[in-house]
Structure 1
């Protein structure tokens, strides 16, 4: 049986690659996309998701969610220098024909979790605000989901937007703390492993050589991301496949090795706000429920070849 999934996205470039990977993976049934602020604004993330689905020739529903953090005003700037002014490498050319569904993203997640109890996997690859809102509305959500896979955090390595913080967690640390300690069966796919999944320029060039409209769009979009990585870390051998790895873990959990940990998140006015770090069982709050599975190793080459075999 196919694994039923919802992808919760802030559709920038690596989100777009994750969506393409998911829809081309026969093991998965993508029930819908839910969108949030993050890489770009919420309306832009929704628009880009619809644009990409049209290019993929898929009529998967899109549900709009949070436009700001769970417990504070927007404080992390949009990363247009990484994802382009439009969020998809400055490749936006025309508005989508479809619109987002009327239902809120959090309500859609709850509805599907109740429809498919213990059969639904949510893959969250942006800030965790939609999941926090869903928890508020449905406290039993951790028992209803089969698994929550989160692309976020940097438990054993440095951050990327701050020395100690990864972008998705930093964008809404209060939502992250709430979700990570809610008792979900949870896999955290962080910078600990995603920075090892480098997509080489030669692969992107090969997409362009295929000549299809989809291949050229993916190549043009990803070229922008490649250049952003070079600007950030000159000499790096490609761009990291952060969000696609989270999808890969849903398909083949053995792409990664995990370690059970209690994980805390720095919140509020902490100088290290957004930091994700391991704590002991004694330090864990009584509400933490259980440990989460933190990815600590990845078979990067095997995952890369799998991704390349599916993306187009």
Structure 2
């Protein structure tokens, strides 16, 4: 499977990136950074650092959009800085990568990759949908070429996590999410309905630490910080962004409901992902909404995949 990640890195984005790096059946073609958990430039640097630490320095990294389509700037939320740390990776110190981002913009990279790989390309987006929407606006011809797009965002049957209506990624740019949902692209929405069913505990981070690799210890510290920012009743941390990768990698683990989806873009309910009454009778759903997950299978696969990645990183460093 050929994949591009669109991340606002972010601790759980970092986990999603490591999950892809450790999955032998996924070929990561590149990573596009965006805003959300962090400012775009910080997220791009976090990706570069993680790739170098995980012995994957050849994967190109591109800088995406810095704010929502209909806004002139972006101000990081206080809650994002608290949950992910000021540096986006739980205040953990990471060696700064020597290489820099690519010159090509993230939006132009998405356009060129879709034109090259067409339906064979999977795009997993775990931040705001701004880069994808901007690519569609700039080159609408790619709509017919695009393969599956799997997003972490939204909520269908439960309240949002930033307002009673809205989940964080969608709330950052409701207009972009609406445009993506209604574009005709094959979209799978992995929302809070399922991402809050899968939990990673300190038992896993303990195993990563035992690998003795720098990557294992850094990720263990990052995720322990993230666990500390969750309610103690959770018993660990939710697997928000890794769930989108899991849905692309193993869709059989997820129960999906085909629906006509839209996004509220104005007013108190801005960012709400909801069924479109106007298109209900058309008979052709536009989004597959995840409503259930085999959480045990996903938790085990993520745990095993990251542990094996960190073991390999340690061996590569020793060699």
TM-score, L = length of structure 2: 0.91
Per the TM alignment, residue 278 of structure 1 is displaced from its structure 2 partner at its CA by 1.6
- Identify which of 253, 256, 259 aligns with 2:257: 259
The answer to whether the Cα contact below 8 Å between 1:121 and 1:148 also exists between their aligned partners in 2 is yes
Q: Which residue of 1 aligns with 2:146?
A: 145
Q: Which residue of 2 aligns with 1:276?
A: 273
The answer to whether the Cα contact below 8 Å between 1:36 and 1:67 also exists between their aligned partners in 2 is yes
Per the TM alignment, residue 207 of structure 1 is displaced from its structure 2 partner at its CA by 1.4
Aligned equivalents of 1:98, 1:164: Cα separation in 2 = 41
Q: Which residue of 1 aligns with 2:60?
A: 61
Per the TM alignment, residue 140 of structure 1 is displaced from its structure 2 partner at its CA by 2.3
Other structure's SS at 2:197 match: coil
Indicate yes or no: 2:289 matched with 1:294.
Answer: yes
Aligned equivalents of 1:71, 1:290: Cα separation in 2 = 27
Per the TM alignment, residue 146 of structure 1 is displaced from its structure 2 partner at its CA by 1.5
Per the TM alignment, residue 210 of structure 1 is displaced from its structure 2 partner at its CA by 2.2
Gaps of 5+ in 1: none
Other structure's SS at 2:233 match: coil
Query: Is 60-69 or 134-143 further displaced after alignment?
Result: 134-143
Q: Which residue of 1 aligns with 2:77?
A: 77
Other structure's SS at 2:91 match: coil
Q: Which residue of 1 aligns with 2:315?
A: none
Report which of the two has the higher share of helix: 2
- TM-superposition CA deviations, 1:141-184 (whole Å, max 9, x none): 22212101011000111111111111100111111111111111
Q: Which residue of 2 aligns with 1:162?
A: 163
Aligned equivalents of 1:53, 1:204: Cα separation in 2 = 19
Distance of aligned partners of 1:262 and 1:215 in 2 relative to their CA distance in 1, 3 Å threshold: same
Aligned equivalents of 1:71, 1:45: Cα separation in 2 = 21
The answer to whether the Cα contact below 8 Å between 2:170 and 2:271 also exists between their aligned partners in 1 is yes
Q: Which residue of 1 aligns with 2:196?
A: 195
Q: Which residue of 2 aligns with 1:114?
A: 115
Per the TM alignment, residue 234 of structure 1 is displaced from its structure 2 partner at its CA by 3.4
- TM-superposition CA deviations, 1:243-279 (whole Å, max 9, x none): 11111111111110100011121113x1111111123
Indicate yes or no: 2:299 matched with 1:304.
Answer: yes
Q: Which residue of 1 aligns with 2:104?
A: 103
The answer to whether the Cα contact below 8 Å between 1:249 and 1:256 also exists between their aligned partners in 2 is yes
Aligned equivalents of 2:40, 2:75: Cα separation in 1 = 14
Q: Which residue of 1 aligns with 2:131?
A: 130
Aligned equivalents of 1:186, 1:277: Cα separation in 2 = 14
Other structure's SS at 2:62 match: strand
Q: Which residue of 2 aligns with 1:5?
A: 3
Superposition RMSD on alpha carbons, in Å?
Answer: 1.7
Q: Which residue of 2 aligns with 1:44?
A: 42
Gaps of 5+ in 2: 310-319
**Number of residue pairs the alignment of both structures matches:** 304
